[in-house]
Amino acid sequence: MKKPEIARINGIDISYEVSGTGPLIVMVMGTGSPGRVWKANQQPALVKAGFRVALFDNRGIAPSSECPGGFTIGDMVADTAGLIEHLGEGPAIVVGTSLGAHITQELALARPDVVRGAVMIATYGRNTPLQRAISAGERALYDSGITLPPDYEAAITAHLNLSPHTLDDDRSAQDWLDIIGFSPQKVTPGVRAQYGIHEHEGNRLAAYRGITVPSMVIGFADDRTLPVKLAKEVADAIPGSRYEVVEKAGHFGYLEQPEKVNALLIDFARSL
């Protein structure tokens, strides 16, 4: 197994690894998850398609610096830009999901010099009341020292992040519950810091009209966590953005429908 490297970037440690040869793709994961999640499906497909793929752990996710005192979306944008500069192979195609997608679109706006193309998966440009309530609940659970029973946490995670088409099949639902249960997300001080990022952030859709790099937004039709309408809003805001919807997919659609997501990523990357 390839051992991640550690680079000093933006004043902190960033854990990363790079595989393959060809044009550089940097992949940005969502809240609470390590970069290795991309290894399940996207990284192997992109490497096979002729790309050099960099995965990394966002600040807040060890062995990158956890920064438990808190940080901003701007800090995470600067980390991603700094990694691209550290690799010395930019500008890069940047792919992000959920929080990672939000970082990607903010990076495309602030540092177009390091972004060759941007892909935002299951993204958003504004916080909804439901998002704020879920985020506040996650923070409150951690701050109160409450740990949910593992089976219940797996069920809630599946319900929020998987398509009804996946969960309607009992065997499929049980398989996913087992997978989630075997690899639970541990809420560390760094993850708690990630939970607080958007607490005071406003509507960014108008700002995204200033994004000039080639962009693609991918929404998941059955996304309960970040409803697909939010991805469409981002696509509508970015001039000339390509917009795609993957059916029978929830917030974890890149895991539920990997072939469809991978095909979209490869097609976009090859078009640049």
pTM surpassing 0.85?
yes
Residues designated catalytic = 98, 223, 251
The structural architecture, per CATH, of the domain 5-271 is 3-Layer(aba) Sandwich (3.40)
Task: Tally the residues of the chain.
Answer: 272
Helices (H), 40-149: 42-48, 73-87, 99-110, 129-143
Amino acid found at 41: N
Q: Label the pairing between strands 115-121 and 24-28.
A: unpaired
Task: Record the tokens describing residue 28, joined without a space.
Answer: 């940005």
Domain edges within the chain? 5-271
- Can you give the pLDDT of all 272 residues of the chain as single tens digits? 678 899 999 999 999 999 999 999 999 999 999 999 999 999 999 999 999 999 999 999 999 999 999 999 999 999 999 999 999 998 999 999 999 999 999 999 999 999 999 999 999 999 988 888 888 999 999 999 998 999 999 999 999 999 999 999 999 999 999 999 887 778 899 999 999 887 778 899 999 999 999 999 999 999 999 999 999 999 999 999 999 999 999 999 999 999 999 999 999 999 99
Task: Record the tokens describing residue 246, joined without a space.
Answer: 């993957």
H or E stretch covering 96:
strand 92-97
The answer to whether the beta carbons of residues 51 and 20 sit under 8 Å apart is yes
